[in-house]
Amino acid sequence: MTLPPLYLLLILVGAANEELIARAYLMTEVVALCGSTIVAILASTCFQTLYHLYLGTPTALLSGCSFLFFSIYYAYRRRAMPLILSHFLYNFLAAGYHAYGA
């Protein structure tokens, strides 16, 4: 499977933006504002699930499960790079699946 290099860069940038803004920044700010890690986890998970509704409700809710796992990981580790890489890998596999079929 080969995807164009610019497309791979686009997938990487998209994953980085999503993880850095919707997870790292949002969770850091929510914890600073209200002092609750649980509220930050829920805010990040709900926000990401909400803007994935364009994929359809079942897919968005299924994605919400992984967003919850990612949010819990970030809350305890405060490391965004593993999340960016895993998000990139997921998007890469999904793009390959849609481009070349199963």
Over residues 39-90, the pLDDT tens digits come to: 999 999 999 999 999 999 999 999 999 999 999 999 999 999 999 999 999 9
Look at the chain and report how many structural domains it folds into.
1
* The pLDDT value given to residue 53: 96
* The pLDDT value given to residue 78: 95
Note whether residue 14 is domain-resident: yes
Note whether residue 21 is domain-resident: yes
Residue 102 has pLDDT above 90, yes or no: no
Note whether residue 102 is domain-resident: no
Residue 1 has pLDDT above 60, yes or no: no
Question: H helices of 20-80, where?
Answer: 26-34, 37-50, 57-77
Note whether residue 96 is domain-resident: no
**Enclosing domain of residue 36:** 5-87
The CA-atom distances, in angstroms, between 48 and each of 23, 69, 73, 99, 102 are: 8, 12, 15, 24, 27
Residue 99 has pLDDT above 80, yes or no: no
Note whether residue 93 is domain-resident: no
